[in-house]
Amino acid sequence: MTTLSPYSVDTLYRGDTPRISAREREYVLAVLDSQFRTSAGSSFTKQLEDLFARTFESKYAIAFTNGTATMHAALAAAGIGPGDEVIVPPLTMASTSFAVLHAGALPVFADIDSDSWTLSPASVEERITPRTRAILPVSIFGLAPDMDGLVDIASRHKLFLLEDDAQCFLGKYKGRVIGSIGDASSFSFQSSKHMTCGEGGMITTNDEQLATAIRRMNSLGYAAVGAAAGKGKITRETIQDPLYERHSSVGYNYRMSELCAAVALAQLERLPELVALRGLSARILNDAITSSCSEWLKPQAIPGGVTHSWWSYVLKLDRRDVSWYDFRDRFRAAGGDGIYAAWRLTYLEPALRGGKFAAHQTQSFDKGLCPMAESVQPKLLQFKTNYTDMQRVENQARILRQTIESF
């Protein structure tokens, strides 16, 4: 049985945890050696789905080509489409809202919490209309939102709750692993994520009927596919029958390739150490903030009972005489690796701004829609945590202290 690998902090500090290891290379070579024979099946995809489901405390895990297709397929499988609304946060990658549009539904933006920057349940409640069918919260920067509040709202209003956990691997919420709480959860294996295969994604759920519908959305609507791991392809026996009715529904070709699955499996087996690396990087950077006694750089607030997974370490710059660009430029000039900005709020992107997507659109996608998100977004400084050399992180922390003191 495939299992997760142990790790030690000493190993992390020695720099013995490369992003891509010999294990990934070994698994990729095994796929290549198979010559992509159909008879070889989807061995790595099945192992990946099996281990992912166990790791994220779910009955089913379904591998996808990316973490946008995951959300699109889950929404479509839940019956969400034209005329429906899905409540989303504005402070995140636009893919979250785009997936709603891909399903033919309309994103409705709710505001964020002032300190954790996650989707606010109170704002969600205010945005519910008779057309609301789902809530799609994001574990932003690696921190889960108020899942108790969102589960309660979803339950009372009979809404589909789909977690976007692309940035949160092995995060916890009151003792439960993130990815096991909503009706379904979406993960991304894009190159910046805790684990990667270049591009890829996964959906988890405990609902067999939903898992089967998602698998069919993932696999061209094939009648023979099912919820269980490895059920993403039809068998040779069925495909060779001239009278076989292959397609029970219209689906998409969102299946993960065996090459990507091989890399993703190796990464998943190493996930505790990969997540621990980010946590250690975040702790070192946070120590720099604590030691500098800065009151104008505020880390993301972590509520009690929630474990952050540190996709990135983020600070809110709260000083009127220092601009985001001032801080970024001085940090970089001192030898810092650079600072990422938070995404422009999705409804203010040119693709959505001010536009009408449906006759029933009640929100105007313009400034003023989510005041808290609009206030917070321009002030956020995102620092990398995906280091494999802790000495380099220590150097970045020193430069961060030096930059703070220079103001």
* pLDDT (tens place) for every residue of the chain, 407 residues total: 567 776 666 777 777 788 999 999 999 999 999 988 765 668 999 999 999 999 999 999 999 999 999 999 999 999 999 999 999 999 999 999 999 999 999 999 999 999 999 999 999 999 999 999 999 999 999 999 999 999 999 999 999 999 999 999 999 999 999 999 999 999 999 999 999 999 999 999 999 999 999 999 998 888 878 877 666 566 666 677 777 788 888 899 999 999 999 999 999 999 999 999 999 999 999 999 998 878 999 999 999 999 999 999 999 999 999 999 999 999 999 999 999 999 999 999 999 998 888 888 989 999 999 999 999 999 999 999 999 999 999 999 999 999 999 99
Question: Which of the four CATH numbers 3.90.1150.10, 3.40.30.10, 3.40.50.2300, 3.30.70.2190 does domain 273-406 have?
Answer: 3.90.1150.10
Which tokens go with 285?
A: 């950077």
For residue 19, give the amino acid letter.
R
> Which entry of 193, 231, 316, 384 is annotated as an active-site residue?
193
What is the topology classification, in CATH, of domain 20-270? Aspartate Aminotransferase; domain 2 (3.40.640)
Q: Where in the chain is the domain with CATH 3.90.1150.10?
A: 273-406
Q: What pairing do the DSSP bridges indicate for beta strands 176-177 and 297-299?
A: unpaired
Task: Determine contact, residues 205/184, Cβ cutoff 8 Å.
Answer: yes
Which tokens go with 297?
A: 């750089």
Q: Which residues contact 286 (CB under 8 A, 6 or more apart)?
A: 299, 313
Of residues 168, 200, 198, 197, the one with CA closest to residue 181:
168
Q: Where in the chain is the domain with CATH 3.40.640.10?
A: 20-270
Residue listed under structure tokens 């993932």: 218
Q: Is 193 a catalytic residue?
A: yes
The whole model's pTM is what?
0.94
Which tokens go with 221?
A: 């609507």
Q: Which helix (H) or strand (E) holds 279?
A: helix 271-292
Distance (Å, whole) CA 295 – CA 353: 35
